[in-house]
């Protein structure tokens, strides 16, 4: 996933993963522990799950801190003695933020500021945080390039842009090194299919497995740059450990660099699942109304990440689906 030189640097590195019981966070924890790192995990289990960390909860290099990033003392406890922070804790979902903008802001802005402050006080070497492709807002330019954004289309998008502004100011004022990662539609093992704000891939996979018709929002022509979890792990690790000074204190797209329409996605999922259960071929696909706040098309330029950080994503959509389908089939039935 990452080159040998980078992997060697992980041994005994002290790393806090916030939101470490969540989808992305738990995958990061598992990878880091597997390469000799000492890992602290901070999570309040609002959207994370105990089952996500059960396979390594007793690992001698793993410490769980049950707490909330909205509590500065929880942040300070978790970051104590750490060298690096991978900040994944957030309330995701555009629809959730539209339904409850206050809680989204409390977690994503106030919580982010708490964590950034605690990291500054602990004098961590680097603060790598989950930004979002939603920051591009109403910009219609494709592919999305980091320096060209539009106006936000949801409260969630505003909070993630504010994160970038705070990170920039904290570097300029306090000298802490930060890197923001604008994730594009991440998917893979441990992604929760349940709940009102579940992501499209696990939601549709579970529907197909249960022989229920998935419903596409709109006519299926909206497109996304779907990004497999192992690509995301690679970019987090390389951002955390890069020795290139030009790579610091900026933001990067984290994607594969190809776009797929929702209709194409649904057909790929259906075709792949049919190899497990041939009757899924007969499941119909439904269409509904477009969601408020949805961006029609999303496609990332990954040139900046490739050039400055050495990001080389190895999993396109179909390869990522193939890699994760065994997990989906086992856990979503």
Q: Is residue 221 part of a domain?
A: no
pLDDT, average across residues 229-240: 98
pLDDT, average across residues 47-63: 96
* Token code pair at residue 272: 């792949």
65 neighbors 118 (Cβ within 8 angstroms): no
pTM above 0.85, yes or no: yes
User: What is the three-state SS of the chain?
Assistant: CCCHHHHHHHCCCEEEEECCCCHHHHHHHHHHHHCCCEEEEEECCCCCCHHHHCCCCCCCCEEEEECCCCCHHHHHHHHCCCCEEEECCCCCCHHHHHHCHHHHHHHHHHHHHHHHHHHHHHCCCEEEEEEEHHHHCCCCCCCECCCCCCCCCCHHHHHHHHHHHHHHHHHHHHCCCEEEEEECCEECCCCCCCCCCCCHHHHHHHHHHCCCCCEEECCCCCEECCEEHHHHHHHHHHHHHCCCHHHCCEEEEECCCCCEEHHHHHHHHHHHHHCCCHHHHHCCCEEECCCCCCCCECCECCHHHHHHCCCCCCCCHHHHHHHHHHHHHHHHC
Q: Is residue 97 part of a domain?
A: yes
Comparing 176 with 297, the larger pLDDT belongs to 176
pLDDT, average across residues 232-242: 97
Comparing 100 with 292, the larger pLDDT belongs to 100
Residue 24 confidence class, pLDDT cut points 50, 70, 90: very high
Comparing 326 with 87, the larger pLDDT belongs to 87
Q: What percent of the chain has pLDDT over 70?
A: 97
- Quick check: 126 pLDDT over 60? yes
Q: Is residue 50 part of a domain?
A: yes
Comparing 300 with 290, the larger pLDDT belongs to 300
What is the pLDDT of the chain when averaged over all its residues? 94
- Quick check: 26 pLDDT over 90? yes
pLDDT, average across residues 69-82: 98
User: What integer pLDDT is reported at residue 121 of this predicted model?
Assistant: 98
pLDDT, average across residues 181-185: 96
**Degrees, nearest 5: CA angle 210-229-68:** 95
Among 31, 84, 129, 156, which one carries the catalytic annotation? 156
User: What integer pLDDT is reported at residue 293 of this predicted model?
Assistant: 66
- Quick check: 196 pLDDT over 90? no
- Quick check: 292 pLDDT over 90? no
- Contacts for 157 with CB less than 8 Å, ≥ 6 apart: 94, 97, 132, 134, 135, 137, 293
Q: How many structural domains is the chain composed of?
A: 1
User: What integer pLDDT is reported at residue 331 of this predicted model?
Assistant: 84
Q: Is residue 178 part of a domain?
A: yes
Winning range, highest mean pLDDT, from 59-73, 88-102, 137-151: 59-73
Give the Å distances, CA to CA, from 262 to 66, 95, 251, 271, 282. Answer: 37, 18, 27, 14, 19
Residue 295 confidence class, pLDDT cut points 50, 70, 90: confident
Q: 134-177, pLDDT tens digit by residue?
A: 999 999 899 999 999 999 999 999 999 999 999 999 999 999 99
Question: Whose CA is closest to 25, among 48, 9, 58, 8?
Answer: 48
Q: Is residue 222 part of a domain?
A: no
- Quick check: 5 pLDDT over 70? no
Which domain CATH number covers 12? 3.40.50.720
6 neighbors 84 (Cβ within 8 angstroms): no
- Quick check: 242 pLDDT over 70? yes
Task: Determine the structural domain holding residue 138 and report its residue range.
Answer: 4-188+229-257+295-315
Q: What percent of the chain has pLDDT over 90?
A: 86
pLDDT, average across residues 268-293: 90
User: What integer pLDDT is reported at residue 2 of this predicted model?
Assistant: 62
User: What integer pLDDT is reported at residue 169 of this predicted model?
Assistant: 98
Active site residue 84: no
Instruction: Give Dmax over CA atoms of the chain in angstroms.
Output: 60
Q: Is residue 207 part of a domain?
A: no
Q: Is residue 278 part of a domain?
A: no
Q: Is residue 288 part of a domain?
A: no
């Amino acid at each position: 996933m990452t080159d040998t030189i980078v992997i060697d640097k992980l041994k005994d590195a002290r790393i806090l993963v916030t939101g470490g019981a969540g989808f992305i966070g738990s995958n990061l924890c598992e990878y880091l522990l597997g390469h000799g790192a000492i890992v602290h995990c901070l999570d309040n289990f609002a959207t994370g799950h105990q089952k996500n960390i059960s396979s390594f909860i007793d690992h001698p290099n793993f410490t769980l801190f049950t707490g909330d990033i909205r509590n500065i003392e929880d942040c300070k406890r978790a970051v104590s003695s750490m060298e690096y922070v991978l900040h994944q804790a957030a309330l995701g979902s555009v629809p959730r933020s539209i339904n409850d903008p206050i809680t989204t802001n409390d977690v994503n802005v106030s919580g982010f500021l708490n964590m950034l402050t605690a990291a500054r006080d602990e004098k961590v070497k680097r603060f790598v945080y989950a930004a979002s492709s939603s920051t591009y807002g109403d910009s219609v330019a494709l592919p999305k390039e980091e320096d060209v954004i539009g106006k936000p289309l949801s409260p969630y998008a505003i909070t993630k842009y504010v994160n970038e502004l705070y990170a920039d100011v904290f570097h300029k004022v306090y000298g802490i090194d930060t890197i923001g990662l604008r994730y594009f539609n991440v998917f893979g093992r441990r992604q929760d299919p349940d709940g009102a704000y579940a992501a499209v891939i696990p939601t549709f996979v579970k529907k197909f497995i249960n022989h229920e018709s998935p419903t596409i929002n709109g006519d299926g022509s909206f497109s996304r740059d779907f990004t497999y979890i192992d690509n995301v792990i690679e970019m987090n690790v390389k951002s955390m450990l890069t020795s290139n000074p030009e790579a610091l204190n900026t933001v990067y797209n984290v994607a594969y660099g190809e776009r797929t329409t929702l209709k194409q996605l649904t057909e790929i999922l259906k075709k792949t699942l049919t190899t497990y259960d041939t009757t899924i071929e007969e499941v119909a696909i439904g269409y509904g109304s477009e969601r408020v706040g949805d961006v029609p098309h999303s496609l990332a330029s990954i040139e900046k990440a490739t050039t400055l950080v050495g990001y080389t994503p190895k999993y396109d959509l179909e390869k990522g689906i193939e890699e994760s389908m065994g997990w989906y089939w086992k856990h979503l039935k």
